[in-house]
Amino acid sequence: MPRTLLRISSTALLALLTVSCRQSALTTNASMAGELLVVGPWEIPSLDPLGSGSQFMRMQVTETLVDAASDGTVLPGLAAKWSTSPDGLEWKFELRQGVRFHDGSLLTAASALPSLKRALAEPGSLALAPIERLDASGNAIVVQLRQPFSPLPALFAHSSTQILAPSSFGPSGEVFSVVGTGPYRVVSIARPQSFIVAAFDGWRGGVPPIRHATYLSVSRAETRALMAESGQADLVFGLDPASLSRLRANPHVTVEAVSIPRTIALKVDSGKPCFQDVRTRRAISLAIDRPRIARAILRDPEMAATQLFPPTLAGWHNPRLAPLATDPALARKLLADAGWRKTSLGPLSLGGACSSMELLTFVDRPELPLLSAVIQEQLRQVGLHVEVNIGNAGDIPFGHRAGTLTMGLMARNYGITPDPLVTLVGDFGERGGDWGAMNWRSPEIESLFHALVRSNGADQSLPRSRVAEILQSELPVIPIAWYRQTVTVGTRVSGVSLDPFERSYRLTGIRWAGKTGDSR
Amino acid sequence: MGRKDGGQPLTVARIIVRRLVQALLVSLMVSTLSFVMMRALPGDAAMRVAAARYGHDLVTARAADAVRAELKLDRPVASALFAWWGDVLRLDLGTSAVTAAPVVDEVSHQLGYTIRLALAAMGIALLAGPLLGVLCGLWPGSAFDQTWRALAAAIRAVPPFILGLLLIIAFSVEMAALPAAGTMDSTSLVLPAITLAVGLTAGLIRVTRDALKSVTESGYFAFARTKGLSLSEALVRHGLRNAAAPVTAYVGVQLAFLIEGVVAVETLFAWPGIGHALVHAIYARDVPMIQGTVMAMAILFIGLSALADLAILAIDPRRR
Amino acid sequence: MTMPSVGILNDGAATPKRMTPWQWVGLAILALIGFFGLVAPLIGGDPLIQDLDHVMIKPCLSSPLGTDHLGRSMFARLGHAARLSLLLAALSVLTAAIPGALLGVAAAWRARWTDTALSTIADGVLALPGLLLIVLLTTFAPGKFWPFYVGLSLALWVEYFRVVRAASQTLLRSSPVEASRLLGFGPAYVVRRHLLPELIPVLRTLMTFGAATSVLSLAALGLVGVGLRPPTPELGTMMIELLPHYQEAPWLIAEPIFVLLLAVTGLALVAGERELR
């Protein structure tokens, strides 16, 4: 009897062990020497370019028609050149010849079209332009516009317009594999944590020094920092300011940083009674102590936002604007003027409501939860009670569309496409944007955008300055701090550079450093 | 220790029936809570799932309604609950509100990782714990015994997360001997397994020590020694067999601690198991995944408990 | 979550338990923490007020335990956190112990089917590790207090139920109880005179363990990120907040770890030798 039981138990245990080992066979194969490990906080729940597909573009698996240089000028990507008709309503993007997808098929206008048509459905991307239709004609993509739109090429640099081979799509249009044109091809994907890429032999740019790479998503900032510190990861993105200080002092790690046109800002629902009055929004802005935040939390005094556009957003940053100030006493006065009264419990309320407001933020960027705690306290000092809810990055767009969002702390990248105009139109135009204004309209800004979109080379500085002025005065989105993109680099590699538009990790430029390349 | 059922002899059949009933009960409990969650949480759950499946911007009202029917949100509560239970018992756990993949697929993939981790941890604990415990028990009251017992008690009070961090700092950062996180290396399992095993080991040391101490102090052991058996012979013949019972019982009882520790350890080490998935599902308010992962962990727990029960039955003749 | 060996033997006689020296030490530690939790919030100031000009100050006269990364007083925060943990522990243990014990006695006393029904429910609850139950409940109200309280109580009551039931079964069949019953004494008398003296020491052990479990569970969930919502000071959430600063200000994260260790050690010491955790 006991022997039988022992046999049963041990067989069961063995079965469990075999089942579990089989599952993880995929990822253990990848542990080869000479493989680059890139770690970031972003997960890959889906392969869809409209979803988290940007990670594949960053790992240079997919490419877009248009590329961007570090200074924002648009460069040819998969499109060798483009031209527009005299009336500005038709654009032609000539594709490069002889480019192959990872499955061997040729890149043609016809094979590129399905990807672009999908991107048209996404409001944050191609749909921002007044595109009437997309066609393939010869080896060119022809774009018909309803009205002239000068920033059009910049739109085709966005990750949602990445070109996938027709074999990537299933029968109902869903993406079930990522077959691109980039220097690296996908070897395996373990959703939502990681995927492995290998150099694609048929790439037009030759063979890059790094032959294999893995992207691993690690959600805890502490774990990412430890992976950088221990030298396990070669590139680590998304570290908090304290860990960065620690790593800067570490001889085995280099920290690269670049100022990018990303602003940490508070998005509020201007449609809710709580924030309808511009005085309330100004009061909130006055309550926030940006210089101290930049110094003590971000450890970078230059990052204290004086306006929405950072200095790196040349042309839009308005140096003549009076900087956003800190004045809690004035904030209290403005709140009182706007009708906020003290309740018996302590916090102020507006007409009986708004005595507790919800602030949504997410952990993907570790600065955000930190700043949300500081903002919560600084607002408490002027009498406003805020409850912080930390969730997913998707909660804010969701809340925007459902109308349930009250306040959201985000880090908006105004440099998603090389021309910020497109992003701004999406954020502050008619319908507001997921990461822009909510239930706020300014007819003047809309006409300014209108003019800017049509202008072609004419002097744009006046309208742009005016846009900055309006946003500074109206504060539909309250700026908190500017941003420096950072990456920690291990000793195994060199040649790492940061893309200020966060479109690519520039793996092709990275080399193994000296003799230590193949050992771990 | 008395019999668990209070009077009825334990048999294999009884154990299996009991554990199956438990599995059924826990499935009903978790699915009911998830059902309530689906309806009680703010925001349109159907819209969430539909948006994940078709893409935020491609989702139509018709697609959302189809999902609503799937989630049984369009029915009155009572009939919906029964239908929900039916689905769960047929292992139709729906699709994730984040990845739009079937929950069963995701969970079974993650389960593999968790099982590896749990078995590795149990292996380490079952080797180190009784070994140290036997040594402590042979010389009770000695400096060796006292130090180990104090250490064990102290370690039990430290949360696994902190313990894991200390281990990473020591072995990955300072000594660069082991990877800090992830599953890429063949040695990636070591640190998470040790972290999970430490708490278990600490308890096992104590239990083995106590059990062995009571054996060496017992009459029959003394008798065996006077009969002429050497220490090791007496131990093997009488001691270990009798000490094995409470040790196995202890492991069975500590499985809950193991399962709970899995959540913290997987989160810290970015180990893609069910615990890790659960925490993510909570952040995303992904109710189908929350239900799936919690149920998987509970079933795993019950399965391991059943194995422990069977092992006790095999070892302890008094139970039959 | 654990099933300690029942110290009660078959003869139903009361087993006197005198406090060992180690138990007194444990009690002293708990008293110290309790005192700290009571007094620190009163004299330590506001745990929420931030001072971004004085972040991560070393412990000194004006700030006995230093300030955290947002310039908040660690003294005040730890005091509140200790109070919170102990309060939650005490509350959930009591809410678990009293109904659990009562149901245990009822199951031992009553007819077969009550016993089976209660035992089956208890088994079902036992099948779900407590932390998972709490985590499920926190999804309803992320960051609020009640999921922890309700979850812990639900997870803990089964202990008391099973132990009390097992003990009561043995006791109720013993000769002294038989005698009392024959003499016509009612249930209340039997409970007071025969059951309570035996059960109380065991319950006391269980309660200290329940308390330790509560304190650790709250911290564990805070560490993983599903704990109490900031800015509420809680040991686990404090640990995770102070983690990035472990090199530049190691005393900061050491403080909540120390308080946690102290609390759990104190409870473990009070529980005494015959524990199985």
Cβ–Cβ contact B237 with A under 8 A? no
Asked, for residue C7, whether it belongs to a domain, the answer is no
CA within 13 Å, CB half, A141: 32
With beta carbons less than 8 A apart as the criterion, state whether B181 and A239 touch.
no
- C123–B21 CB contact, under 8 Å: yes
Which whole-number Å values give the CA distances from B132 to A52, A167, B147, B206, B249, in the listed order? 50, 59, 11, 9, 18
Band (pLDDT 50/70/90 cuts) for residue C115 is confident
Please calculate the CA angle C122-C157-B258 and round it to the nearest 5 degrees: 80
**Is there a contact between A21 and B116 if contact means CB atoms under 8 Å apart?**
yes
| Closest Cβ–Cβ partner in A192, A232, A391 for B180 | A232
Q: Does C192 touch chain B (CB under 8 A)?
A: no
Map tokens 């006269």 to a residue: C61
Q: Is the pLDDT of residue B117 over 70?
A: yes
Let me know if A188 is exposed, middle or buried by CB neighbors in 10 A (0-12, 13-18, 19+): middle
**pLDDT tens column, B166-177:** 999 888 888 877
Substitution target from B117, B183, B316 for chain A, most A beta carbons within 10 A: B183
Burial of B91 per CB tally in 10 Å (0-12, 13-18, 19+): exposed
Distance from CA of B150 to the nearest CA of C (A): 10
Q: Alpha-carbon dihedral of residues B27, B31, B32, B37, nearest 10 degrees?
A: 150
CA distances from A200 to A62, A190, A284, C196 (A): 11, 20, 52, 77
DSSP C243: G
Q: Do A387 and C229 touch (CB under 8 A)?
A: yes
- The per-residue pLDDT for B1 is 36
C20 domain residue, yes or no: no
From the list C204, C249, C240, the residue with the least C-alpha distance to C101 is C204
Confidence of residue C62 (pLDDT cuts 50, 70, 90): confident
Chain B contact for A376 (CB, 8 A cutoff) = no
Distance separating alpha carbons of residues A493 and A9, to the nearest angstrom: 49
Tokens of C205: 């052990």
Contacts (Cβ under 8 Å, ≥6 apart) of A71: none
Q: Do A392 and B283 touch (CB under 8 A)?
A: yes
Cβ-defined contact of B168 to A226 (cutoff 8 Å): yes
- Per residue in A182-241, pLDDT (tens digit) is 999 999 998 788 999 999 988 888 889 999 999 999 988 889 999 999 888 999 999 999
User: Do A377 and C247 lie within an 8 Å CB cutoff?
Assistant: no
* Rounded Cα distance, C148 and A489, in Å: 41
Residues in contact with A357: Cβ distance below 8 Å, sequence separation at least 6, in sequence order: A274, A384, A385, A386, A387, A406, A407
Neighbours of chain A (3+ CB pairs under 8 A): B, C
pLDDT tens readout for residues C211-244: 888 888 888 888 887 888 878 899 988 998 898 8
Name the residue facing A2 among B116, B173, B314 (closest C-beta).
B314
What is the residue-averaged pLDDT of chain A?
87
Residue type, C86: L
Q: Please answer yes or no on whether C135 and B37 come within 8 Å at the CB atom.
A: no
pTM for the complete prediction? 0.86
Domain coverage including residue C134:
77-271
Residues on chain B touching C124 (C-beta within 8 angstroms): 21-22, 25-26, 28-29
Q: What is the DSSP letter of A128?
A: G
For residue C16, tell me if it sits in a domain: no
A30 to each of A27, A112, A295, how far by Cα in Å?
5, 31, 42
Q: Report the gap between the CA of C11 and the closest CA in chain A (Å).
A: 33
User: Between A31, A219, A401, which is nearest B184 by CB?
Assistant: A31
Give chain B's count of helices (H) and strands (E): 13, 0
Q: Are strands A348-350 and A254-268 parallel, antiparallel or unpaired?
A: unpaired
Q: If you count residue pairs, one on B and one on C, with CB atoms under 8 Å apart, how many are there?
A: 138
Share of chain A above pLDDT 70, in %: 91
Number of compact structural domains in chain C: 1
Least CB-CB distance to B153: which of C2, C243, C268? C268
Residues of B with Cβ-Cβ distance to A431 under 8 angstroms: none
> Any chain B CB within 8 A of the CB of A15?
no
What pLDDT shows up at residue A380?
A: 94
HSE-CB at B32 with a 13 A cutoff on CA atoms is: 9
Tokens of C88: 């939650």
The tens digit of pLDDT for each residue in B256-311 reads 888 888 999 999 999 999 999 998 888 878 888 999 999 999 888 888 888 888 88
Report the 10 Å Cβ neighbour count for B214.
Answer: 15
Among A477, A450, A492, smallest CA distance to A147 is for A450
Asked whether residue C47 is domain-assigned, the answer is no
- Pick A374's closest partner by Cβ from C50, C142, C225: C50
Question: What token pair was written down for A346?
Answer: 């302590």
Record the tokens describing residue A465, joined without a space.
């300055």
| Interface membership of C216 toward B (CB under 8 Å) | yes
Count other Cβ atoms within 10 Å, centred on residue C233. Answer: 25
Question: What confidence tier does A113 reach under pLDDT thresholds 50, 70, 90?
Answer: very high
User: Is B270 within 8 Å of A16 when comparing Cβ atoms?
Assistant: no
Nearest CA in chain B to C253: B162
- Closest CA in chain A for residue B314: A2
Say yes or no: A28 contacts chain B, CB-CB below 8 A.
yes
Tell me which residue in C1, C2, C123 faces B25 most closely, judged by beta carbons.
Answer: C123
Q: Per-residue confidence at B98, pLDDT binned at 50, 70, 90?
A: confident
What is the DSSP secondary-structure string of C8-39?
--TT------PPPHHHHHHHHHHHHHHHHHHH
In this prediction, residue A20 has a pLDDT band, given cuts at 50, 70 and 90, of low
Angle, nearest 10°, between helix axes B287-315 and B103-138?
Answer: 40
| Closest-CA distance of chain A to residue C244, Å | 6
Q: Residue C177 is part of a domain; what is its CATH number?
A: 1.10.3720.10
Degrees, nearest 5: CA angle B214-B215-B220: 125
Distance from first CA to last CA of chain C, Å, rounded?
9
C-alpha torsion sign, points A209, A215, A220, A223: negative
**Interval A49-95: pLDDT, tens:** 777 778 999 999 999 999 988 887 889 999 999 999 998 899 999 99
With respect to residue C178, please indicate whether it lies within any of the assigned structural domains: yes
Residue C18 lies in a domain: no
> Which of B15, B161, B266 should we substitute to test contact with C (largest number of C Cβ atoms within 10 Å)?
B161
Q: Which of C240, C247, C248 to mutate to test binding with chain A, by most A CBs within 10 Å of its CB?
A: C247
Q: Which residues of B touch C243 (CB under 8 A)?
A: 165
| CB contact residues (below 8 A), chain C span 33-52, against chain B | none
CB pairs under 8 A between A and B: 150
Distance from C-alpha of A477 to C-alpha of A267, rounded to nearest angstrom: 5
What pLDDT score does C106 carry?
Answer: 83
| Residue-level pLDDT at A414 | 87
At residue B5, does pLDDT exceed 60? no
- Single-letter code of the amino acid located at C71: G
Name the minimum distance, in Å, from the CA of A292 to any CA of chain C. Answer: 6
Nearest by CB: B182 against A17, A19, A216 = A216
Average pLDDT of chain B is: 81
Quick: pLDDT tens for A448-502. 988 888 876 667 888 899 999 999 999 999 999 999 999 999 999 999 999 988 8
**ipTM of the prediction greater than 0.90, yes or no:** no
For residue A20, the chain B residues in CB contact (below 8 A) are 111-116, 119
Q: Which helix (H) or strand (E) holds A199?
A: strand A194-199
